[in-house]
Each structure stands twice: as C-alpha cells, then as structure tokens.
A and B are shown apart, each in its own frame.
Chain A
C-alpha cells in the first residue's frame, strides 16, 4: 500500500512522544518496533507518519508461511521468460519507502533474519538468487509490529532481532483521546462515543484469561460504524464487541450485561 500527499491524510491523535521518536528514528535511519495489543492504533500511526514524512508505505502482514523469498523476491514466469521480481522489502529498500512488517513474530525464522542486515549499521540487503547486494536508500526505514500478549507459545522475537530496534510501547489511548478517536472515526455524538469508551474500560478491567486482550479501540469503532449504519448502539456493541471477544456462554452473558449497563438504548 502506497501513501502520498494526494490521498486523504490519515487521522491520528498522538498520545505521548511517539511522533517525535518516529521522526528522530527516521532521521537516523533506525528501525522501529511497535508493541501493543490488537486494535490500539499501531498501523494507523505508521500510516500517519508515512503521510507526514511524505514517504511511500509498503505493508506486509506476516503469517507462519511467510518466507524470506516472499520478502526479498523471486523469479516469475512472464510471457515464457523467467523474470526476477523484487519483493516488498527489496522495493522499499530501493525506493526509500517505509516497509511495515505487521505481526513479524509469526513469520518464519528465515524471513525475520532476512531483515537483519537492513536493520544494523550495514543497511544493505544481499539477494542470494541474484548474487547482488543492494544498499538501502537513505530514506528507507523498517517498522515492525507485534502483539506481545498474543504471541504463539513457541514463537518469540529473538534478542538478536529485538536489540536492533527502537521500541515504542503502545496501549489503548487515554479516555479523553479514545473518545475523540471514536467520535471522529464513526461520526458519533461525543456522549455516545463516551458510553462506548466507558464500556471498553469496564471490559478491560475484567481480570480473566478469556478476555486478556480486552476490548480494542477497533471494536469500539466497528460498533460505532454499525450504529451509524442503522442498528441501535446496544445491538451494535453486542455484535461488534462481545460477540467478537468470546464464545464462552457465561462470559458472553456477562459482557452483554455490561453493555446494558453502560450503553443507553
């Protein structure tokens, strides 16, 4: 996904000094590691910064089948000929784009190691198949993200990868900012946005493993958008929040009771 000044700028409400840190890291060519729960604004932040810095953004969502070839590139057949096609990492390194690797810990080990030479002082990428080494564009930047609470039990980010990164910890925004976000994203009345945020805080206070992630800002926005689409806010909250969070019957009922308590009809 590429971003430029002609498209509508993504809206982002800063919580702390994350914008300053990103800009400083960008100036120094340092890679960033964004850590936080799902739906708390990591991807939106990267989109916002790409737009602010006027850099193209290339996003890759990682999964367990993502290999080094998927990131670096491979030979393809085109019109009977074998043609090399750069992968997203190579394209970003050449073009000076921001390469955003989402849920990087899920990718295979060879894929994670492929970024090492780009994230230390070398800032270069060696392509085995071409026997070439390319130097990264001065504006090139790697940003990785992952959710520490969700990590697969046997997979974790190795220290050799972690210590190449500048870390930024994300969490759900403070109440006032989250209300603004929900109101702005959904076009909701501030009072109704406040009800959704109050509900989310109540769910996040529940200390139970089944709800360890809590209700993300994303689910609140989904509920708000559903309400704008014509459903009552309570019904929207049930569909977008409680049903999304759990299948356990008792917990589902408890969440619906909280919706009834915090969301007026």
Chain B
C-alpha cells in the first residue's frame, strides 16, 4: 500500500464502516483495538499488517460484533473476551460480508477456520487448545472504551444489512450436555453464538434470556441499541487544555515567553483602551497554529446544501453576457455576424442580444469560530454549543467551497493578552473542504475570548490576501468577549473598535450565535442589531442570516 499513514488507513476504515473513523498509532507491541470512534493500531506492524489490522477492526464494528449489547457482557472477563474475539473472527471469515477484501479473507481464513467449520468444531478447538490462537494483526477487544463511547457512534452510510451482520451461523445438532465440560465463560459464550435472527430454538431463547435481548419493537433494555448505536447526538465533552497551552500557563506572570517554535510568526496588535481613549500599542500577541492531533476526534457531518441556497445570492455582481436570445440591448458584433450569415446563405444564429445579469461572484470570506471553554456548555437538545457551532461552520465552509468563494477560516481562543491562538482551519487559496473538515474535527473548546485581537488578525490577513472587491467577516461566538484583564465594558469597547477598523478596511462583519443560553446583550451591543443573528434553529434562521450579510455588504460598499 502506497500510503500507510493514518489518513490513508482511515480512508480504508471509512469505506468498510460507511462512516468516518479516525486511525491512531499506539506504541509498537501493543495489540490493536477500537473504541468505536477511533482505531488504535500497533505502530510496530509493517505496512501490509497495519492495513489488515484496520480492516479487521473496522469489520468488527460494521458487523455489529462490538455492539454494546454484546460487549457489556464481556466487561471484566478477559478470557471470555479473547474467546469471543476468536469466534467472531471465525464467523466473519467463514461467512465474509461482500465488503471484505478477498485478499484478506484468503490470507487468514485457512489459519483460523478448520476445514469442516461448524460451531461444534470451533468450540471443540477452544476446549482442546484452551487459549485461541489469533494472528497478532487481529488485535484485541477492549470493552471499556467501546462502552464509553457507544452512545456517540454516528449512523453510517451503507451499514451492513441484518443478514450480513450476524452471519449465517445457526446451531446444528448441538448437544448441550457437552456444556458441562466447558468452563463457565465458554458456556455463556456459547449462547452468544446463537443467531438472534433465527426463528426459534432452545439456543436462541437461552441467548435472549441471558442477554435480555428482544427483537425490535418488543421492548427490553436493548431494543433500541441492537443495530449498532444511535445516531450521533453530537455531544462533545469539554476536554483538557492542549499541551502547548498548559506549558504557557505554567510560566510566571509578567511577560512569559511563549513555547512556540522559532519558525512560528508572532503577530502583535494594539488594543483600544476606552478609559484612556487611545490604543495600547503592541498589546495583544497572536499566533497561528495547526490544530493538534487528538485521539478521539468526533467526525463532523454537515449538510451544505440547505445553507448553499441562502449563500448563493451573496456577492453576486452584474456581468454583461452576450449571445442571448433576449436581452437589454443588441450586441453589435453578434448582429454583424447575423447579417453576414444571412448574406452567405447560412442559417443565422438568432442570439444577438446582450443581457446584464448577476452571474459573477466577487467575494471572499473570513470565518472565525469561538473556541472558548464556555462553548462546551450543553444546549437544551443535548448537543454542546461547540458541536453546533462547528457543524454550522463546516456547512458554511463546504457551501462556500461549492460556490467557489475563497474562505479564510480560523478557530480562536486565548489565555491572556500574550497568548491568543488562531487555529488554522483553512487558507484563503485552498480548494476543497476535506482538509478543513479534518481540522475542525481536531478542535476542542478551551480558554477564553479575546475577540478584538482575533478580529484584528483576521482583518489583517484577509486584507492582505484577498483579491476580491467584496469581503465579509463571519464570527460565530457563544457570548461576550472575556479574557484575563479583558472583560465588561473594556472588552466590549475594544471589540467595537476592532469592528470599526474592519469596516474601514471595507470588510462587512456579521456575528452569529448558535444554541447558547447566555445573554445576547453584549454581542448585540457590539455588533449591532442588523449584523447579529441568533440561530437557535439554524434552517429557520438562514434567511435572516442571508439578509444580514447582504445588508452589511451594501453598507460597507456605500462607504
């Protein structure tokens, strides 16, 4: 495989599972496993083995082998877990789903499955050998991490059908008196083998009784959880501060050195002091950083189509289009061509008009997303503010990308005036939204909101890089600007001053707040009623959002 990096392997896992899933490497020698959201692969394996490990773990997830209803029975039972893994591997290889690459099935099937494969034969093999032998690439099952994230698994596209998921294993003439010879673990495990889709039989009933499983619609504690997880609620926990910032916080107060590499550019911006009526020069220090790699990145899914309809009219300007069947004026060149064709005895092209229509888009966007810790708060619908903000930001990014509008995007947060972080999501001249999405998935809420500095930096970058006449700054924030030594009227005044600078640079600022329970008063005061939109219900508020951007653009262009 030409690309054994986590990105390439993540792609393979995605295609097997039908939903995005991250891939991370663990220290060499550790057995590969998954928590449902991420596949943790042994970095000591060679390229081909890493791929096989990813295939196997992804297939376990796709086939329902790691559903919570089964895994919770294995918690605290390592031997049963290993036996279960062996039997599930045999089941998958004995009756491989169509999506399993044949090279994988051919390579491993002979190692695991006896020639006459039946449940009896497998159990006898277990009894006689004690510990099942599995290739190292198959890794292990860790019930704890799986159960921890089982409620957050997103619905996938192209999930395995029911018949594919549990395979065709059915008990065949099984003599349950042999159970007495099996250790307790194996007896319970035997019941796990029974196909819950079978029409009846003593083993299916015993399986249902022990695990408390019911068919869907029959009630029972697992009735809504047997299909491999519920659609993602989007809840994102507030996680610990990234390591680079922890280092900073460990520094003494005063003018601590930032622990950043020598290659990183540090930007310095003034800050408006309303009490003195003047700027404090070189006051806020801003640094641009790439979002750090994290272990349990939650894949984001956004519907750009709904947003794109409202963004489509933005930034359009008139352009004269010739060769039209109807129009505002006759195009002289086309008319001359028409006469020449008539004179030459040819059938002339009747499209001789030209029309002034809005077909050219001349606009660039700077998108800022507030990453402060307060965005980790949970909304009434169970999602975090942060998750809703990122989903909307991603839908904007993807929609603008489809409309070929250049977007410069950052997430921002701060820890005092010496450390304002602008996390790079997208560069203005980038194409495609795949990389931007991956960046969004790696962002976490932390820190505070020194909004003035973030706005000034974005204004500076957009002014420098944009080549369009129309420029818009979209700020997605959950509340008021707040940071160390930056709060209340002082922070509001500085942010308002930064917005004046933005308008003077002919950039139209609009602020959006989504799902937060904090008061809007501060953002309303700072941005003004015409350029602040509260979006508790994003689809319903899109038309107001469109109007706000159009209004601000017109205002800025009027001067």
Residues of A within 8 A of B (CB): 67, 69, 74, 76-80, 153-154, 175, 195, 198, 201-210, 247-248, 250-251, 253-258, 260-262, 264
* Chain B 14-36 near chain A by CB (<8 Å), digits 1 or 0: 11111110000000000000000
Q: Determine if B103 and A264 form an interchain contact, defined as CB atoms under 8 angstroms apart.
A: yes
> Given A205-B99, A209-B304 in contact, is the A76-B433 Cβ separation under 8 Å?
no
Chain B residue numbers with a CB within 8 Å of A256 are 2-3
Q: Determine if B1 and A210 form an interchain contact, defined as CB atoms under 8 angstroms apart.
A: no
What distance in Å separates the Cβ of A180 from its nearest Cβ neighbour in chain B?
15
Chain B residue numbers with a CB within 8 Å of A261 are 1, 12, 51, 101, 103
* Centre residue among A80, A195, A256, A258 by max chain B CB count within 10 A: A258
Cβ of B127 within 8 Å of any chain A Cβ, yes or no, is: no
Chain B residue numbers with a CB within 8 Å of A202 are 15-16, 99
Cβ 8 A contact of A205, one of B2, B16, B432, B437: B16
Cβ of B319 within 8 Å of any chain A Cβ, yes or no, is: no
* Centre residue among A175, A254, A256 by max chain B CB count within 10 A: A254
> Given A201-B99, A204-B158, A260-B1 in contact, is the A77-B433 Cβ separation under 8 Å?
no
Chain B residue numbers with a CB within 8 Å of A207 are 14, 18-20, 156-157, 301
Within residues 406 to 443 of chain B, which ones have a CB less than 8 A from any CB in chain A?
A: 431-435, 437
Cβ of B348 within 8 Å of any chain A Cβ, yes or no, is: yes
Which residue on A lies nearest to B11, using beta carbons? A254
Measured CA separation A254–B403 after assembly (Å): 25
Measured CA separation A255–B14 after assembly (Å): 11
Which segment of B277-285, B339-347, B547-555 sits at the interface?
B339-347
What distance in Å separates the Cβ of B75 from its nearest Cβ neighbour in chain A?
30
User: What 4 additional pairs, Cβ within 8 angstroms, besides A154-B312, A209-B433, A258-B15?
Assistant: A153-B402, A205-B157, A251-B432, A253-B11
Cβ 8 A contact of A250, one of B305, B345, B403, B435: B435
* Chain B 302-339 near chain A by CB (<8 Å), digits 1 or 0: 00110011001000000000000100000000000000
Measured CA separation A78–B348 after assembly (Å): 11
Q: Determine if B434 and A153 form an interchain contact, defined as CB atoms under 8 angstroms apart.
A: no
Cβ of B370 within 8 Å of any chain A Cβ, yes or no, is: no
Chain B residue numbers with a CB within 8 Å of A198 are 98-99, 101-102
Chain B residue numbers with a CB within 8 Å of A67 are 325
Cβ of B216 within 8 Å of any chain A Cβ, yes or no, is: no
Which residue on A lies nearest to B311, using beta carbons? A153
Which residue on B lies nearest to A152, using beta carbons? B312
What distance in Å separates the Cβ of A59 from its nearest Cβ neighbour in chain B?
22
> Given A77-B346, A79-B345, A205-B158 in contact, is the A254-B8 Cβ separation under 8 Å?
yes
11 A-B pairs within 8 Å (CB atoms) are namely A198-B99, A205-B14, A205-B156, A205-B157, A206-B157, A207-B14, A207-B157, A209-B433, A210-B433, A247-B431, A258-B15
What distance in Å separates the Cβ of A56 from its nearest Cβ neighbour in chain B?
25
Which residue on A lies nearest to B346, using beta carbons? A77
Chain B residue numbers with a CB within 8 Å of A248 are 431-432, 434
Q: Determine if B7 and A250 form an interchain contact, defined as CB atoms under 8 angstroms apart.
A: yes
Cβ of B398 within 8 Å of any chain A Cβ, yes or no, is: yes
Chain B residue numbers with a CB within 8 Å of A76 are 347
Cβ of B350 within 8 Å of any chain A Cβ, yes or no, is: yes
Cβ 8 A contact of A203, one of B2, B15, B305, B403: B15
Q: Determine if B15 and A206 form an interchain contact, defined as CB atoms under 8 angstroms apart.
A: yes
Measured CA separation A243–B255 after assembly (Å): 52
* Chain B 46-61 near chain A by CB (<8 Å), digits 1 or 0: 0000010000000000
Measured CA separation A209–B402 after assembly (Å): 10
